[in-house]
Amino acid sequence: MMNVLSSTSATQLAVAHWNESPLYLSEQERYSRYPWLYEAAEFRYHQGRRVLEVGCGSGCDVLQFAKHGAKAYGIDVTPAHVVLARQRLMGLAHIIYADGTRIPFASESFDYVYSCGVLHHLDKPREMVQEILRVLRPGGRFNVLVYNRWSHVPLILMLKHGLKWRLWIENSTAPVHIELYTVRKLRAIFAPIRLTIKKYECYHNQKLGQFIGWFLGAKGSKPVS
């Protein structure tokens, strides 16, 4: 595949990490592990609309948008994930090898942009946020999920693994850039766009998840004028 990477070391680390140990869950595994995700991602509500997933990994979520009638597109920088996503989607969605900081689509060409577990791997996250806003039509909505710093997960990993706890966040201990977010930091990255932020994921208990959930989900829209 032609090189489409921005030159940041964070992106290069991500590619090396997931090329070496690709992340593949069946639909059943993913939505029983994250039962809140189906509603949080809004898979069912974009029929006939143009939807882009940035950092689609092996394609499980982009498949759900496609199954529910969206014109679905996914991009990812890891070649091994692009291959797995294309195999999973079997033409139901367009999967493109591309960097989220240089999205290869025209401005104002999507109704909804979704991204789960990607922005926190970037060292220049505003570049991806600007690209998301560029490709959204005025009034179009985005939904971006990142890891929450004030969650039970860092605490548990610290107790289990000590100082090197961050190496156990992802699916392998190969190094990867991870920036944990606070609500304030997330709002600052999207400013001046206003966000609605919700927390998810604490042992399937959303009563706890809304306070210390491992994911911060940020929803908002591109201003009309």
Ligand X SMILES: C[S@@+](CC[C@H](N)C(=O)[O-])C[C@H]1O[C@@H](n2cnc3c(N)ncnc32)[C@H](O)[C@@H]1O
Structure tokens at 65: 């948008």
- Report if residue 88 touches ligand X, rule: CB under 6 A: no
Is 57 or 220 the residue whose CB approaches ligand X more closely? 57
Q: Is the dihedral of CA 26, 102, 127, 196 positive or negative?
A: negative
> Which residue number, 76 or 201, has a Cβ lying nearer to ligand X?
76
* Residue 101 near ligand X by CB under 6 A: yes
> Per CB under 6 A, does 55 bind ligand X?
yes
Task: Pick the binder of ligand X from 42, 76, 131, 201 (CB under 6 A).
Answer: 76
78 in contact with ligand X (CB under 6 A): yes
Phi, psi of 178 (to 5 degrees): -135, 120
Q: How far is the CB of 221 from ligand X (least distance, A)?
A: 21
Cis preceding linkage at 192, omega within 30: yes
Query: DSSP characters for 54-70?
Result: ES-TTSHHHHHHHHTT-
Distance of CA 21 to the CA centre of its chain: 18
- Of 42, 99, 131, 201, which lies in the binding site for ligand X, with binding defined by CB under 6 A? 99
Span near ligand X by CB under 6 A; candidates 38-46, 74-82, 149-157, 191-199: 74-82
Contact 111, 83 (CB under 8 A): no
Binding residues for ligand X, rule: CB under 6 A, are: 11, 14, 18, 23, 54-57, 75-78, 81, 99-101, 116-118, 121-122
